[in-house]
Every structure is written in structure tokens, then in C-alpha cells.
Chain A
Amino acid sequence: MSPQLRYVGQRLPRVDSEAKARGAALFAGDIRLPRMLHAKVLRSPHAHARILGVDYSEALTVPGVRAGVSGQDSAAVKWGVFRYTRDQVLLPVERVRFLGEEVAAVAAESLAAAEEACALIKVQYQPLPVVLNVWEAMAEGAPLLHDDHPHNINVHVHINVGDVERGFRESHLVREDTFSAPEDSYFMTEPYAVVANPLADGSLELWMPNAAPHQKAKALANALKLPLGKVIVRKCAIGGAFGGRSDVFPAEFIAALLAIKAQRPVRLVYSREENSLATRKGHGMFTMIKTGVDQEGRVLARDITCYMDGGAYSSTGPIATSVPFLCMEQCYKLPNVRFNGYRVYTNKPIGGMYRVHGRAFASGVDLQLDLLAEELGLDPLEVRLRNARQAGETTPTGSLVQSCGLTECITKSALAAGWRDKYGKLPPWRGIGLGTNSVQTGFPMGIRGGSSAMVKFNEDGGATVISGVVDNGQGNDHMLVQIAAEVLGLDLADIQLISADTQATPNDPGSYSMISTLAGGGAVKAACQDALAQLLAVAAPALQAAPQELEAQGGQIMVAGEPTRALPIAKAVRLSLAQGRPVMGRGSFFPRVDNKREWLKNPFGQLSETFSFGACVAEVEVDPATGQVKILNLVLSQDCGRALNPLVVEGQFEGGASMGGVGGMLAEEFLWTREGRCLNPSFLDYKVPLACDMPAMANIIVESMDQSGPFGAKEAGMSAAMSAAQAIAGAVANAIGRPVFEYPLTPARVLKAIQEKQAGLPARGPQK
């Protein structure tokens, strides 16, 4: 191995960016195949209704229409991420459970013909009573969305570690607060799109934005009752995921059914509104947090009950219900803790994991620490440092934290932001706040928990890397290529990447659990090391040296320290072929996690092999006349293990702070009518941050050099994204002199808090 790293740690332009800059990268909606049909979906106008009949015969008479489908045309297999959450028929037969749910679809020679035909599909509905929030849904006698789930409780996660009651008894100070936030949404810039192409051998190839091609293929194969090898998910450019492309959607099932029926390629492109409501949205949340601390502000006990509005189906429910808690138990020491997380079914679109999942959870934990610190006369910064997780500790649910740069993140962010000069010393209506967070690098996923990779050398000395890792836009393709080039001693341009294609690439757990660098990058590194070892064995006799004396650098294999004794890699490759010893490298990375850990039945044991940690300090100014919050500065830091490419890592910090902090904490929320119709599914009405909304951001990369990650890398960006929201919540409370418990912090909510304070009313959390 070369001791000097040529690529790791360098600010490198991404290998995929030129195609994107040229407009040549093909996204799913850009793909056009010969004889391709265009599909359109008919959606339920009711939030809850029985389907009495679907008749699309008249639709088929529209010129150009080639196929129609409804639930009756499918095997109506119930799908779920887990065996025990199989609750969604991808094209419903008996009942629709949210406004906008798929009911039928047609495929035609033109989109115009498909739209015309769609309007002619006749569906008879019997409307049913609806439940539109967790309280209605859990009320006695409420209509049930799924008959086998009393009180509409989809998932209940229960964790109880230590002796919480004793912890409260021994506490010097105990606080209880409630926090809430409505649903937020991904608004990835690319609307969802699927192309399905039936092949002559009975297999089906598909392109769609996804965060785990192998899992899309498996779920689709089950739903279509096809062998797994017959469902091929191909690679395409993907316009963002942020957690919202993780599991399987009706769109690919419908496109597949239509393609099989018509025996023609079918393209289904969602509108912006369909993307907002018929893929995934964030969860609404209502979190009650009780925390007891000693005189120094050390947390002795915490009891959290959280109700999450999950929408109509489970999706990743058990994971979504657990993750906000897990992030916080990783981040802070917690000797005694109880968590009850309830995900509740409502007649709204399906809730999924979100990049900043749990703003009314993590922000609550941090804001409450601020309030406790204030009551104790302590600096919140000190309280954070006293409670911050350290390497070598074990989380309450039993995960060893093997590397942790949290204290360094907090200290450096606070220093760069001038915390000690500013906290308590800012002029009126200015405030400063601190947020910290931690995320996983993957979850126990049994046989799907690891990633594998292959590497082959080409005659010209270049190499082809084959990996299942998918790139949603975060730079995973570049990450793999950079690791391969580093290990193989080649230029980035000498590496070809085949990835995210279920026919060609080995399994990978997908990118949504933040595992791609650790497992996918780790597998590619191992495969490249294996390939290089084989090549060095071939080259050694030619260089009259032992293989362990050799290294690869700059396209050459050379005797370490003697650059004149060298052989071009191309020559070594040809030598290996001439000798009948072709080089084929293989490698895998299966994280050391406890596969007996299960989200509901056994939420104990090693969750991820390693964890990332982040902190953010925000400084804000509030206009007391309008309640408008202006963010003056964000100082973002994260222990990402090692920054393989700081340019990419910074981009993850900045993008995360935009979505989670600026958008998530100040503006983003879905609004609903009493009928369950979303009022703001469009870019015009749902306010995502624009360039003019973004504050100055400073990035601090902390490197704990993780022992398992490739070159020490863990995960980049998620901890920073989440902590930005928490920091802003704290800064606004600091600025106006009272906490606000309902998020996002729109001018109306902030102004109400200011007015209540001026009227001498107590600060109150959200009411049920």
C-alpha cells in the first residue's frame, strides 16, 4: 500500500459532474425508448373510501390507448418493508386511504391521450369517515384504517433502560415540555418518474429514482410474482432523495403492470404535486419530553413519548418511529431513559424517513437543555459538553460508540461562532443557539446489511469497479471512484464505474441509512486491495522483488522507495493475461452489528458499527414587529470520521443546513383541509429556501479517523443537517427570551410568543 495518499482528503471535482453540467446525464424522465408509451394515473378524490367498482373499458376506446390497469389486474399482494408491516396493496382493490392514492392507470401513445382516457375511467366510491391527526385517529370509536390495528396505532416502540423514576427522584431539577411540528416534505427537484421495459426473455427492466436498487427489485418481484432475476433495476441519474426514495412505490408497480400488459416500454412521470403527495412526505410529530438533571446539568433521567402522524401505510414505520430517539441517545449520555414512540395511521399520504426527521424531537431535547441550564444558572454550552457522548461509551440500547468527535465539534463550533462573547451578551432581539446530533451508518438488515464489490483490470491498465451503491446526488459515485483510484494507484479517469444495476452489481443495503461510505466504500476498498494483491503477485517476478515490497502509484507498479524499478500497470495486466492469471478483485463489507436487534421486539444491541456526530451554532435576529427570523450565521461542524473529499463534505453540510435548518426550522410545513386535501403541494406554496434566504455558513470538518471506515471515513452531512434545526430553535428562544414549542418558527408563531410574553402569559407548549 502506498503510504502517501494522493486523493483522499483532496478537494476534487466530482467525476459525475461534467455529464450533469453538459445536460447529458439521463434522469428517469429523460429516458426514451423505441415504441415507448406514456402513462397516467387516476387518483382517489377521497381521503377514505371503499372502492365499489373500477371500470376503465371506455378509457380503452380513446385513440392511442394501449393498456389500462386497476387493482383487479394485479395479484393484490400486500407489501411492507417488514414481514409484520405488510399493509399496502400497491394498487388498492377494496379501499383507498388517502386523497391522491392510486386507483387505476392507462398507457397511451401520447401523454395527451393518456390524460384524456384517465378522465373516462369510472370508479364508484363509498366515502368513509376520515381521521386527519393522531388524536382523532387514536380516539375511542375512531374509524380504523387497518382493521387489525386498534386505535390506528401502526407501530409502538418501547424502550426502558435503567430506572427512570429513581433518576427523576434523584434529580435536582426536572422539566416537562411538549413540542410539535406538522408534516414537512422532501421537495427533491426531480419529480418521480419510472420507465419500465419488458424484455423478450420475460424479464422487466426499470429506471427510477431510488435509494436502494436491490430493495426496489426485491419488493417489485414479490408484488409482480416474478423471480427476482427477472426484475432488473437499472442505473440513472437521480435528482435527490433525502430519505424520500427509500422503499417501493405504486408508480413502479403500475408502470410495470402496464408495460407487461401492453408489451411495450412505458414511461410514467409524476407531476410536482404527485411527487409531493404520492411518494412520501415527512411525519407530523408531537413529542413530550421530561428530563431530570443534577446541579451541574448532567442528565439523570429522560422520559419521552412521541406521537408520529404516519399517514395511510407503514412504509419504513418501525425505523421512522425509532430513529429520532436513537439519534438523541447516541448524542448524549443517558443513564436512565424511557421512550414510547407511537406511529399512528391517518388518512393522509404516507410518511417516510426524512433527512431531518424529527425536528419536533431533537429540537425539543436541545431546547429543554437550554431551559434547564438557564434555571440552574449554567451556560448551555457547558451543559452540552457535560452530557456529550464520548468514544468508548455504550448507548442506552447497547451500541458501543467506537469513535466520537462530538466534544471537538461542540467546542470548535462554539469558538468559531464566538459563543462565550455572545451568549447572554447580545443586543435585544439577537440570539445564539447550539444544536448537536448524531446519526447511524446503517442498521441491522440481516442478509441485506452488507455491500460487496468486484474489480477487474482492463488491457490498457484501467480498471472497472462494480458496486451496488446508488448515487442520489450526494456524490457516492465519486466516493467509490476516488477510493478505487487511491488504492489502485490510478487516475480518477482510469476508473470505470458500473453501479446501482441489479443485474450487474452485487447486493448493497442502499444509501438511505447513511451506510454508503462505510459499507459500499469499504467493499470497493477491499475489492481493490484484493485486485492489487493479485496484480502485485504477477508483477513481483518481473521486478525481481517480493510482492510485499511493491506499491502502485501513478499507473506504475514499483519497488517501494526505488521508482526506477517500475512496471506500468498496463504491462502487469497484460502479463497476467498472458500467464492465464486474469485479475479479478472482490471485496465486501458487512458491518459488525447485532442482527438480533429488531426495531420493535428487541431494540437492543449494536445498531451501527459506527456513528457520526455534529454540532451547529446559529446566530439570529428577530424582528419584534413581525416575528420574522433572520439567520445571521451558521457554524456547522461534523465528525465524519475522515473527509475523503472536503469539497463534497462541505456541500453536504451546506445543503443539510438549508433543508433542515433554514427550511425545516423556519418555513416548511404542509397544510391540510378538513377533507384531507393538501393545500400546498407545489413549489409555489410550499416554501423551500432560496439563495436569498441562506445565511453565511462556516464549515468545520472534524476527523476522528474511524477504525472501520475506509481511510477512516464514516458519514458526511447528516449530523450537521439535523443540528442546524436545533441550533436555530435555541437561538430564536434566546433572542425573544422565551421558548417556542411549535415548529416551524414562522413569523406568526414567533410573533404570538412575543406577544404572549409581553402580555405576561406563561410559555405554553402545543395543545392536543
Chain B
Amino acid sequence: MDQPRPKQIFGAQVNGQGVELLIAPQETLLEVLRDRLELTGSKEGCGEGVCGACTVLVDGQPRRACLTLALEAQGLSVLTVEGLAQGGELSREQRAFIEHGAIQCGYCTPGMLMATRDLLSREPFPDEAAIRRQISGHVCRCTGYAKIVEAVAALGQAAPGEEQP
């Protein structure tokens, strides 16, 4: 048995709030989010970075939280699905997914929403191919992806120059 490695203090901004925790160095970001901070919106579907259900944004970049050590996010900002709504108001990605019927069982939804936020932050008006490419890192077994693609496309349909909400 390996000797347990000494615990370390992990500090980050999670959904805009400062957190400080004593964690083991091998704890993943997903474990810290789900088990310590009780932010269970991010899901584990495979534990090996394939299904995308655990995707969160670390300093704005999408990361598989199941393959990311929490300490890799040391001092950075972490955005999870729970941080999308502001002041209780759903974000535009959340509203679009709901209105377009893009959510069935909902297990892939948190990861899909984070992928959508990431895509739109880089590419405000993505075409269908770009949307499909982006969400192809996320497995959904319920929807056949059609309504998810529709939801994301609707978000990117405002005319260029028009202010994005």
C-alpha cells in the first residue's frame, strides 16, 4: 500500500464563490465538486473522460472534471451547471434547452450546457456543423441530439452585431 500523501489546501472560485478545502492530492475535481462541495449537477458517466457528463469550465476552458485533479484548478475559477443561472434566473442556454425539448433524462444535460457555453463564448454564431462537432464529445442516449442541436442553433441565430443577452 502506498503511504497516504499529505493533504493540501485547495482554493478556487467555484461558481463565483471562494472555497478553501483540505483535500488529498489525488482527489479529482469531480470528486471535490460532488462529494465535498455537494455540487452534484456535474455527473460521472464513465470516469474516463469519454462521455462528457462531468464537463465544467476551468478559467473558461472546458475540462473533463473526472480526469482533472482538483489541484490543477488551484487558484482558478470553476464554473459548473449550478453556476449558470444568475440570481435564480436561468441562463439563456438553460432556457433554450428547456424550450426546445433538448432535455430528456437529463443526465448528459449539465455537460451539454457547459459545452454550449464554451462554444458560444468562442463562436457566437456557430453553424450546424460546428455545433455537432462541439457536442460530439458528449454522449446522449435519449434525444438523438436533434433537439440539442436545435437549441444551440437557436442561441446562435441572433443577427451579428445584435447584442447577445
Q: Chain B residues near A650 (CB, 8 Å)?
A: 101, 146-147
Contact with A along B69-96 (1 / 0, CB 8 A): 0000000000011101100001000100
13 more contacts with CB within 8 A, not counting A22-B81, A23-B42, A30-B34, are: A11-B101, A20-B105, A21-B90, A23-B110, A189-B141, A239-B106, A473-B107, A474-B142, A647-B101, A651-B101, A683-B139, A690-B139, A691-B149
Q: Chain A residues near B107 (CB, 8 Å)?
A: 27, 188-190, 239-240, 473
| Assembled-state Cα–Cα distance A684/B145 (Å) | 19
**Residues of chain A from 1 to 36 with CB closer than 8 A to chain B in the complex:** 11, 13-14, 16-27, 29-30, 32
Q: How many residues of B contact A (CB 8 A)?
A: 54
| Assembled-state Cα–Cα distance A179/B18 (Å) | 60
Instruction: Tell me if B163 counts as interface (CB < 8 A to partner A).
Output: no
Stretch from B6-14, B129-137, B154-162 contacting the other chain:
B129-137
Are A13 and B98 CB-contacts (below 8 A) given A240-B107, A473-B105, A658-B145?
A: yes
The answer to whether A189 touches B90 (Cβ under 8 A) is: no
Are A692 and B90 CB-contacts (below 8 A) given A20-B103, A190-B43, A237-B106?
A: no
The answer to whether A23 touches B142 (Cβ under 8 A) is: no
Instruction: Tell me if B51 counts as interface (CB < 8 A to partner A).
Output: yes
| Assembled-state Cα–Cα distance A49/B69 (Å) | 40
The answer to whether B141 touches A240 (Cβ under 8 A) is: yes
| Assembled-state Cα–Cα distance A191/B107 (Å) | 10
The answer to whether A20 touches B136 (Cβ under 8 A) is: no
- Most central of B47, B90, B107, B147 by chain A CB within 10 Å: B107
- Most central of B50, B94, B98, B103 by chain A CB within 10 Å: B103
The answer to whether B103 touches A17 (Cβ under 8 A) is: yes
Instruction: Tell me if A475 counts as interface (CB < 8 A to partner B).
Output: yes
A-B CB contact pairs (8 Å), 30 listed? A13-B101, A21-B113, A22-B84, A22-B85, A24-B41, A189-B51, A189-B142, A239-B43, A272-B47, A473-B106, A473-B142, A474-B104, A474-B142, A647-B101, A650-B147, A651-B142, A651-B146, A654-B145, A654-B147, A655-B142, A655-B144, A658-B143, A658-B144, A683-B46, A683-B50, A683-B51, A683-B139, A688-B139, A691-B148, A694-B145
Instruction: Tell me if A657 counts as interface (CB < 8 A to partner B).
Output: yes
A residues neighboring B (CB under 8 Å): 11, 13-14, 16-27, 29-30, 32, 116, 186-191, 237-240, 242, 271-272, 472-475, 647-648, 650-651, 653-659, 662, 682-684, 688-692, 694, 697
Are A697 and B144 CB-contacts (below 8 A) given A23-B82, A239-B106, A239-B107?
A: yes
For the complex formed, measure the closest distance between the CB of A654 and the CB atoms of chain B, giving whole angstroms.
Answer: 3
Instruction: Tell me if B32 counts as interface (CB < 8 A to partner A).
Output: no
| Assembled-state Cα–Cα distance A651/B42 (Å) | 23
Q: Chain B residues near A651 (CB, 8 Å)?
A: 101, 104, 142-144, 146-147
Instruction: Tell me if B40 counts as interface (CB < 8 A to partner A).
Output: yes
Q: Chain B residues near A24 (CB, 8 Å)?
A: 41, 82
* Interface Cβ pair total, 8 Å cutoff: 181
Q: Chain B residues near A27 (CB, 8 Å)?
A: 40, 43, 107
Instruction: Tell me if B99 counts as interface (CB < 8 A to partner A).
Output: yes
For the complex formed, measure the closest distance between the CB of A199 and the CB atoms of chain B, giving whole angstroms.
Answer: 23
The answer to whether B41 touches A22 (Cβ under 8 A) is: yes
Q: Chain B residues near A473 (CB, 8 Å)?
A: 104-107, 142
Q: Which residue of B lies closest to A692 (CB)?
A: B136
- Most central of B45, B140, B142 by chain A CB within 10 Å: B142
Q: Chain A residues near B57 (CB, 8 Å)?
A: none
Instruction: Tell me if B59 counts as interface (CB < 8 A to partner A).
Output: no
Q: Chain B residues near A25 (CB, 8 Å)?
A: 106
- Most central of A23, A116, A237, A239 by chain B CB within 10 Å: A23
Top 7 A-B residue pairs of the complex, sorted by shortest distance between their CB atoms: A23-B41, A473-B105, A20-B106, A239-B107, A658-B144, A654-B144, A23-B81
For the complex formed, measure the closest distance between the CB of B17 and the CB atoms of chain A, giving whole angstroms.
Answer: 15
| Assembled-state Cα–Cα distance A472/B105 (Å) | 6
Instruction: Tell me if B97 counts as interface (CB < 8 A to partner A).
Output: yes
Find B40's partner among A13, A23, A662 (CB 8 Å cutoff): A23
- Most central of B53, B133, B144 by chain A CB within 10 Å: B144
For the complex formed, measure the closest distance between the CB of A713 and the CB atoms of chain B, giving whole angstroms.
Answer: 17
| Assembled-state Cα–Cα distance A654/B149 (Å) | 12
| Assembled-state Cα–Cα distance A474/B138 (Å) | 19
| Assembled-state Cα–Cα distance A474/B39 (Å) | 25
Q: Chain A residues near B28 (CB, 8 Å)?
A: none
For the complex formed, measure the closest distance between the CB of A135 and the CB atoms of chain B, giving whole angstroms.
Answer: 32
The answer to whether B80 touches A23 (Cβ under 8 A) is: yes
| Assembled-state Cα–Cα distance A239/B98 (Å) | 17
For the complex formed, measure the closest distance between the CB of B86 and the CB atoms of chain A, giving whole angstroms.
Answer: 12
Q: Chain A residues near B145 (CB, 8 Å)?
A: 654, 658, 690-691, 694
Instruction: Tell me if B58 counts as interface (CB < 8 A to partner A).
Output: no
| Assembled-state Cα–Cα distance A30/B82 (Å) | 14
For the complex formed, measure the closest distance between the CB of A744 and the CB atoms of chain B, giving whole angstroms.
Answer: 16
Contact with A along B24-68 (1 / 0, CB 8 A): 000000000010001111111111101101000000000000000
| Assembled-state Cα–Cα distance A692/B139 (Å) | 11
Are A188 and B141 CB-contacts (below 8 A) given A22-B85, A23-B110?
A: yes
